[in-house]
Amino acid sequence: MDPSQTIYATLPMPAEAKAVFERSCKNCHSDETSWPWYSYVAPVSWVIARDVHQARKAMNLSEWGGYSANQKTDKLEEICEQVTNGDMPDRKYTLIHRPARLTAKERDLICQWSEDSREY
Ligand code: HEC
């Protein structure tokens, strides 16, 4: 992983927004997955490995710098959409990982940040 390519290194982000990504998204959407104990137990391990693989493919916060300007804009729009309609963080995950759930205030914060960031 190249630290200069992370979303944090390539986009200005307030500490509160970064905290949300770190708490609720990075386990699936980055190269810095910390695997909980239950991820080693089948069949949970199969589901989680597949999810993380797909999640990184869809959006990898560790490789943000590699996206084109268009891809970045798309993903920033998607981020706001997905957290607003409650699709992200993934429900399977928040069920077993309750602290990952977002408050209404955090959803607003992420959307505001993603809107502000589309100019970059
Ligand atoms: C348990 C794993 C998991 C967590 C946690 C998670 N996601 Fe996802 N995410 C996925 C998977 C898997 C996909 C791709 C498949 C899909 O769309 O369901 C995805 C897709 C996305 C996409 C669509 C990207 C695109 O361009 O199509 C966005 C945006 C996204 N997630 C944002 C987030 C944000 C923001 C968070 C944190 C608030 C988050 N996700 C937390 C698993 C996760």
DSSP characters for 33-93? PPPPGGGGSTTHHHHHHHHHHHHHHH--GGGGGGS-HHHHHHHHHHHHHHHHTT-SS-HHH
Handedness of CA 97, 86, 64, 6 (dihedral sign): negative
Give the residue extent of every domain in the chain.
Answer: 3-117
- pLDDT at 8 > cutoff 90: yes
pTM value surpassing 0.95 = no
What is the spatial distance between Cα 34 and Cα 59, in angstroms, rounded to a whole number? 17
**Cβ of residue 25 lying under 6 Å from some atom of ligand 1:** yes
Cis peptide before 12 (omega within 30 of 0): no
Atom of ligand 1 nearest to the CA of 75: 26
What is the spatial distance between Cα 2 and Cα 4, in angstroms, rounded to a whole number? 5
What's the CA-to-centroid distance between 83 and ligand 1, angstroms? Answer: 9
| pLDDT tens, position by position, 59-118 | 999 999 999 999 999 999 999 999 999 999 998 888 878 899 999 999 999 999 999 998
- pLDDT at 120 > cutoff 70: no
Which residue among 27, 45, 47, 88 is best mutated to probe the pocket of ligand 1, counting the most ligand atoms within 8 A of its Cβ?
Answer: 88
What is the spatial distance between Cα 84 and Cα 101, in angstroms, rounded to a whole number? 12
Q: What is the pLDDT of residue 53?
A: 93
pLDDT: which is higher, 27 or 57:
57
Encoded amino acid at 39, one letter: S
| pLDDT tens, position by position, 27-42 | 899 999 887 777 777 7
